[in-house]
Amino acid sequence: MTTESVPADDPRRLLADVRALAHRVRVDQRMTWAALLVLGAMTLLAIPFDWFGMQVDCNPDGSCTFARRGMLYFWPPAMVLAYATIAFCYLRAARTRGLGARVLPYAITGAVTTVVFPAAWLAVHLYFQSHPYPDGPLPYWFFVLDRLVMPWGMIGVALLVLAWLERNVGLLLFTAGYLALVLLVLPMNDGFGAPHFGIRAGMAVPQLIAGLVLLLGAFVFARRRRRSL
Amino acid sequence: MTDPTHPVLGLDDVVHQRVRLGILTIAHEARRVEFGYLRTHLDLTAGNLSKHLSVLETAGLIEVEKGYEGRRGRTWITLTAAGTAALAEEIARLKLLIARVETTTPEDR
């Protein structure tokens, strides 16, 4: 950049400079790998809570019912802790680089997504206290919606907000793939079934896959960041 | 004769200068920016950058805050509300100017 005034008939170059500088700042503010690392670690940490906190009641005919109490107690405080850690990492890294950071929209999203899961659980719980459980199979959209309001779906929503904040196309694509995985592919809400898995293992495996995908994303984004420096 | 509505007439000389426009852009995007970051990314000497910051501060477009982190002095620059508005107006005028140039036929010139 030079210090002389640019002729007024060169607005394209000025605008291009403005866009390039804004992009440079956004790239320097990014800590995508840290966000994915924290969320991946939380996802893996949740597995033993789900495993040991799950209440399973089996009938003599072999049918079982289960309640995932451990998740309900683990995730709300874990999400608050995760998002606070991520915000702290962003602020600290940006400050070290000589920049401020925009974490408020992300913090708000974190707070909202933290509330959605227990609120949805409570709403469903209250609904089925006064309504009969449907006999036939539930529609597919119900399963997708159920998976969306679960912690792993909410992690995807928070990552979408982060991708928007960072104007990060790479993260957007990663998040789209992650959301497709946890909403459409992995049985996050009802687990892999018999005969290959018991109830607890059937629930743990999708969480393990989701956690590993997040950690893999963290690794890839960390490598990309190191290369760009 | 000059067109009185031409967007070039509305350009603010304080903002319409590449370095100062760069400072405002970075400060807007970053919320707050340290002197060293600006110096590195705008490729300026400390004296030159200080002069531009002084112009912007006098115009009320930025706030300069000096402090220490450990023993190291740090200077942070924050955009004021007037600075945010001035930057938005400058960018809007630049876009208008581009649109104007693109829609002007050779006969109009």
The domains of chain B are located at 11-98
Q: Which residue has the tokens 């110096």?
A: B39
In this prediction, residue A109 carries a pLDDT of: 83
CA-to-CA dists, residue A3 to B7, B53, B93, angstroms: 23, 13, 21
Which of A14, A26, A102 lies closest to B94 in CB terms?
A14
Q: State the pLDDT at residue A74.
A: 92
DSSP type of residue A133: P
The reported pLDDT for the residue numbered B41 is 92
Those residues of chain B that have pLDDT short of 70 are 1-11, 104-109
Contact A25 B30 (CB under 8 A): yes
Could you tell me which of A35, A214, A143, A14 has the C-alpha nearest to residue B12?
A14
Q: Which of A13, A15, A21 to probe by mutation at the B interface, max B CB count within 10 Å?
A: A21
Q: Output the six-digit token pair for A133.
A: 């459980």
Q: Do A156 and A172 form a contact (C-beta atoms < 8 A)?
A: no
Order of all β-strands in the sheet with B72-79: B32-34, B72-79, B62-69
User: What is residue A220's predicted lDDT score, i.e. its pLDDT?
Assistant: 96
pLDDT by position in tens, chain A (length 229)? 544 554 544 888 889 999 999 999 998 988 899 999 999 999 999 999 999 988 888 888 777 778 888 888 899 999 999 999 999 999 999 998 999 988 888 788 888 888 888 888 888 878 877 877 777 777 888 888 888 888 999 999 999 988 988 889 999 999 999 999 999 998 887 778 766 778 888 889 999 999 999 999 999 999 988 887 6
**CA A210: distance to chain centroid?**
10
Phi and psi at residue B18, in whole multiples of 5°?
Answer: -55, -45
The two structure tokens encoding residue A1: 């950049």
Residue B64, strand partner residues: B77
Of A63, A75, A212, give the one whose Cα is nearest residue A150: A75
Q: Judged by CB atoms within 8 Å, which residues 23-42 of A form the interface with B?
A: 24-26, 28-29
Query: Cis before residue A195, ω within 30 degrees of 0?
Result: yes
Q: Is A9 helix (H, G, I), strand (E, B) or coil?
A: coil
Tokens of residue B9, six digits:
């007439």
Question: What H or E segment, with its residue span, contains residue B79?
Answer: strand B72-79
- The per-residue pLDDT for A175 is 97
- What's the rounded Cα separation, in Å, for the pair B32 and A98? 8
What's residue A105's pLDDT? Answer: 81
Overall fold of domain B11-98: Arc Repressor Mutant, subunit A (1.10.10)
Q: Does A8 touch chain B (CB under 8 A)?
A: yes
Q: Residue B6's closest chain A neighbor by CA?
A: A8
Asked if residue A156 lies in contact with residue A179, where contact means CB atoms within 8 angstroms, the answer is yes
